[in-house]
Amino acid sequence: MSDPGKMDEPAIRESLQRNVDMSEYESFVYLSLVRNGKQSMKEIAETSGVPKQRVYDIVDTLRSEGFIELDDSYPKKAYAVEPNKTLGPIQTQIRRVQDRLDELHKTVSDIESGVAQFKNISTIEKYVSELFATAENTVFLLASPDRLRQFEDDLLAMDDVQVRVVVSDVNPETLDTGSIFRSGQIEQVTNHIRGTSRSEPFVLTIDRNSGFFWPKPPVSGSGEQEGFYVTDSELAFLFDRFLSDSIWPLATPITSEADESTPSLPTQYFRLRDCLADLQMLAKDVPLESLAVTFDGYDNLSGDQVTKTGVLAGFTYSEYDDVAYVELDVEVGDDGDTKRVTVGDWKSESEDFKAHQISLEERDDRTIKALREETAASFQACLEELPEQLSPANVVVGFDGYTDHIRTLVGERKSQRMYDEIGEFDTVREMFTRAALSDRTLQFEWVESERVPGGHTAHAGRTMESIGYDVQLIGYFGQPVRDEFSETFTDANLLSLGQPTSTEYLQFGDGKVLFTDSRTHRALNWETLCEYVPLDDMVEYLEGTDVVSIGGWALFPQISTIWEGFREQVYPQLSNPPTDFLIPISSVDHLRETTLRSDIDSLSALNDVADVTVVATRDDAEHLGAVFLDETDTRRQRALPPMAAELRRTLDVSRVAITTTRESVLAAGGDPHKILLPRTAQPAEEGTVEDHFTAGFAIGLTEELTEKSSLALATALSGYYKQHQSVPDVEELRSYLSAHDDLTTL
């Protein structure tokens, strides 16, 4: 019985022809030599059956391939090299092929299960390039400069794909220069590029559902490469969250990217946080309700796939926090009713919906145009209502007092009198960063260029003095009154409560920084106020006064005693009391909640004897909302009109006005009024100017303008100051209103 495991000679010949690439005659000759040993050419022809004239060529071929050898006899004889020596390398190669095939077979299996591991550098590079080619919507890449250059062509080949890049292992000295790129070509694909000096692995995510993780080889050891191809969507999403939530926020922009400029609309997003980052910038320039959001996603309650569009009502976002969502007013039913819903990021389960794709755009042009037309009409109405000559009104303004030391930081001093200024705050930020990285002390030289009065009393008082009102200022002006106050207020009456607070005021082209020691103000209460201004004098000051404006709320922990003193001790003695109190608030987040609630109770009681108008910036209004409207999430931003209306009702005051760099809102009962701030191409003053806004509103009330026209006047006056950094007289104010009563400037 034959052994089924053994191959017969025909089978061996067939195998040699198929696997070793021998011809038929070559296999006959080779087997003849293996079986019969050393033979002459004639003998080979006889034993193999191959024609003698072919044997010579075949022997030469087999010899060149290492299967046989010739001896030195005559006639020459051929013999077979031991098969294990000739077929061994082939067997080794076959084993390698087999191992590689096994690896590839395992790879296919692993890819189907979510992760494939590669240990060959060329295979890693191949799969990374192929992965780039699959991108349809979004790419997020973390790579060193070398790796970035390695796959630059793959990035440049993309079309209509959103790309974000974080470059790791960047020299801190060149982090802000962008010089790490070969020729700046990456910026043809994306302007969302950041860098970090930290050493990080290569991480790539494609469309948030696949990716590649390529850790760096160990410093010691074999340095073997390994890469992980991720097709499991859950794991790929986790990598994407790692990049967007942990790496991106801490990296430094290294190009003039969209991080620093107002986004253009419409824009599509595949990460909610990208949308929210843009919204933070847009909120500075446009009303939230002028934006529409469309999203594709799922209803977290029913699991249904949905596509919805709504008006932006608010959003919650911090670059360093997990909580992030938008609030939309979406239509329900056919009768035009709306419902407030929350939309979170993909995989989020806490909100009403989760979105995997979001579009942000300006609402129908008719909506924006209507808002601009309303603003222009309000400016025109204000211009018509505002008298050519204002009434001889009396106002009282208090109770803070600052001396602002306007200083300039010296960059490079060239001589005792000549130096270069540090003109941008971003330059200072960079200096702090470099000092921290080098562990050295940072020292600045500054020079004082000017010394001017500051604070609400000075700003609002100077504005109302400029338009011709009889102004009584009560605050901290020095004892005796310091020159910067007496020289500024030549017509106003100054009553000083003590020495002013000094503020080191650093003005930059892109912002300002103030260093203040406000301990002087903190002791003020009704009792100490009456020590400087006896009750009889206070009654005399307020008799016949039209408006009282009191600033510095957060500076005075006991300010509620002053409001109570006015209500309980002064007003009962007045025959012609002030009809309005204006209370601009600033930095109320510095107050303890119990103090803030007590202050509001006293302010609400004051509203029983006079109309109280609270003036707030967006930040302060949102803090009040967090305290009084049960909005515990201080990162939330809401549309201003409903916020102002809710605050007015909750605080129980006559009016709440909110002013921002782009719009102003007034809630006074009924529907809130809203005014756009005129555009200023190169503002002389950055940020909000709530003291000048307050003064403008006080003028409107004093001149008995309608509340909407008073809001327009306040907005115009703050806009004038932002543009000129000076206060207008009546003629200049009317000219400004006239110049902005059409749509082209709004």
Question: Could you write out the DSSP letters of every residue in 730-745?
Answer: HHHHHHHHHHTSSGGG
Query: How many C-beta neighbours within 10 Å does residue 448 have?
Result: 11
CATH number, position 196: 3.30.870.10
40-49, 246-255, 338-347, 510-519, range with the lowest pLDDT: 510-519
Structural domain includes residue 352: yes
Structural domain includes residue 449: no
574/569 Cα distance (integer angstroms): 10
Question: How many residues in the chain?
Answer: 746
250/354 Cα distance (integer angstroms): 26
CATH number, position 62: 1.10.10.10
Pick from 730, 717, 647, 656: which is nearest to 689 by CA? 717
Instruction: Return the pLDDT at 165.
Output: 92
In this prediction, residues 256-269 reach a mean pLDDT of: 69
Claim to verify: residue 718 and residue 735 sit in the same structural domain:
yes
Confidence (pTM)? 0.61
Instruction: Return the pLDDT at 743.
Output: 47
Residue 199 has pLDDT above 60, yes or no: yes
Claim to verify: residue 302 and residue 339 sit in the same structural domain:
yes
Predicted confidence (pLDDT) per residue in 285-336, tens digit: 777 888 899 999 999 999 999 999 998 988 887 766 677 899 998 888 766 6
> Is residue 8 within 8 Å of residue 30, measured between CB atoms?
no
737/692 Cα distance (integer angstroms): 15
2-11, 440-449, 462-471, range with the lowest pLDDT: 2-11
In this prediction, residues 104-125 reach a mean pLDDT of: 67
526/564 Cα distance (integer angstroms): 8
> Is residue 127 within 8 Å of residue 111, measured between CB atoms?
no
Decide: helix, strand or coil at residue 529.
helix
Residue 567 has pLDDT above 90, yes or no: yes
Predicted confidence (pLDDT) per residue in 68-83, tens digit: 888 877 788 888 888 8
Q: State which of 81, 104, 125 marks the end of a domain.
A: 81
Give percent helix, percent strand, percent coil of the chain, each to the nearest 5: 40, 25, 35
643/622 Cα distance (integer angstroms): 8
Structural domain includes residue 486: no
Claim to verify: residue 700 and residue 570 sit in the same structural domain:
yes
Residue 1 has pLDDT above 50, yes or no: no
Residue 397 tokens read as 């303004």
Instruction: Give residue 578's pLDDT band: very low, low, confident or very high (50, 70, 90).
Output: very high
As a whole number of Å, the CA-based R_g of the chain is 40
Claim to verify: residue 680 and residue 737 sit in the same structural domain:
yes
Instruction: Give residue 663's pLDDT band: very low, low, confident or very high (50, 70, 90).
Output: confident
Structural domain includes residue 493: no
> Is residue 68 within 8 Å of residue 57, measured between CB atoms?
no
In this prediction, residues 169-175 reach a mean pLDDT of: 76
Claim to verify: residue 614 and residue 693 sit in the same structural domain:
yes
Structural domain includes residue 90: no
695/582 Cα distance (integer angstroms): 9
Structural domain includes residue 515: no
Claim to verify: residue 230 and residue 275 sit in the same structural domain:
no
Q: Which residues pair with 473 in a beta bridge?
A: 397, 494
Claim to verify: residue 230 and residue 302 sit in the same structural domain:
no
In this prediction, residues 517-534 reach a mean pLDDT of: 86
Residue 605 tokens read as 């009681």
Instruction: Give residue 438's pLDDT band: very low, low, confident or very high (50, 70, 90).
Output: low
- Residue holding tokens 């700046």? 184
In this prediction, residues 676-696 reach a mean pLDDT of: 74
Instruction: Return the pLDDT at 599.
Output: 92
In this prediction, residues 376-391 reach a mean pLDDT of: 91
> Is residue 409 within 8 Å of residue 428, measured between CB atoms?
yes
Residue 26 has pLDDT above 50, yes or no: yes
Residue 259 has pLDDT above 50, yes or no: no
Q: Which residues pair with 77 in a beta bridge?
A: 40
Claim to verify: residue 254 and residue 162 sit in the same structural domain:
yes
675/665 Cα distance (integer angstroms): 6
Predicted confidence (pLDDT) per residue in 605-637, tens digit: 999 999 999 999 988 998 898 888 865 554 456
Structural domain includes residue 579: yes
Domain residues for 60? 9-81
Residue 347 has pLDDT above 70, yes or no: yes
Residue 108 tokens read as 């296919």
Report how many helices (DSSP H) and strands (DSSP E) the chain contains, helices first: 23, 32
Of 481 and 290, which is predicted with more confidence? 481
343/332 Cα distance (integer angstroms): 16
Which amino acid does the sequence have at 436?
A
> Is residue 684 within 8 Å of residue 723, measured between CB atoms?
yes
CATH number, position 344: 2.30.30.690
99-103, 133-137, 519-523, range with the lowest pLDDT: 99-103
Which amino acid does the sequence have at 564?
E
Q: Which residues pair with 87 in a beta bridge?
A: none
Q: Distance between alpha carbon 364 and the CA centroid of its chain, in Å? A: 26
In this prediction, residues 86-107 reach a mean pLDDT of: 60
**215: DSSP letter:** P
Claim to verify: residue 623 and residue 567 sit in the same structural domain:
yes
CATH number, position 617: 3.40.1190.20
Instruction: Give residue 508's pLDDT band: very low, low, confident or very high (50, 70, 90).
Output: confident
Residues 6 or more apart whose Cβ sits within 8 Å of residue 313: 288, 289, 327, 328, 329, 340, 638, 639, 642
Cis previous bond, 67, omega within 30: no
Residue 196 tokens read as 């970090």
Pick from 730, 731, 699: which is nearest to 715 by CA? 699
Residue 262 has pLDDT above 60, yes or no: yes
Instruction: Return the pLDDT at 258.
Output: 44
Claim to verify: residue 308 and residue 215 sit in the same structural domain:
no
Instruction: Return the pLDDT at 681.
Output: 55
Residue 694 has pLDDT above 90, yes or no: yes
455-464, 662-671, 678-687, range with the lowest pLDDT: 678-687
Of 138 and 283, which is predicted with more confidence? 138
Helix (H) or strand (E) holding 295: strand 291-299
39/421 Cα distance (integer angstroms): 98
Structural domain includes residue 513: no
Claim to verify: residue 249 and residue 287 sit in the same structural domain:
no
In this prediction, residues 216-232 reach a mean pLDDT of: 73
**482: DSSP letter:** P
Residue 178 has pLDDT above 80, yes or no: no
- Domain total for the chain? 4
Instruction: Return the pLDDT at 171.
Output: 80
Of 169 and 685, which is predicted with more confidence? 169
Q: State which of 81, 106, 139 marks the end of a domain.
A: 81
Q: State which of 258, 280, 303 marks the end of a domain.
A: 258
Instruction: Return the pLDDT at 717.
Output: 93
Whole-number percent of the chain with pLDDT over 70 = 85
Instruction: Return the pLDDT at 636.
Output: 56
Whole-number percent of the chain with pLDDT over 90 = 36
Instruction: Return the pLDDT at 464.
Output: 94
* pLDDT, averaged across the chain: 84
Instruction: Return the pLDDT at 6.
Output: 60
Instruction: Return the pLDDT at 336.
Output: 63
Q: Distance between alpha carbon 168 and the CA centroid of its chain, in Å? A: 20
**242: DSSP letter:** I
Residues 6 or more apart whose Cβ sits within 8 Å of residue 23: 17, 58
Residue 109 has pLDDT above 60, yes or no: no
- Residue ranges in 49-191 assigned as alpha helix (H): 52-64, 83-113, 121-133, 145-150, 152-156
Claim to verify: residue 685 and residue 702 sit in the same structural domain:
yes
Instruction: Return the pLDDT at 17.
Output: 79
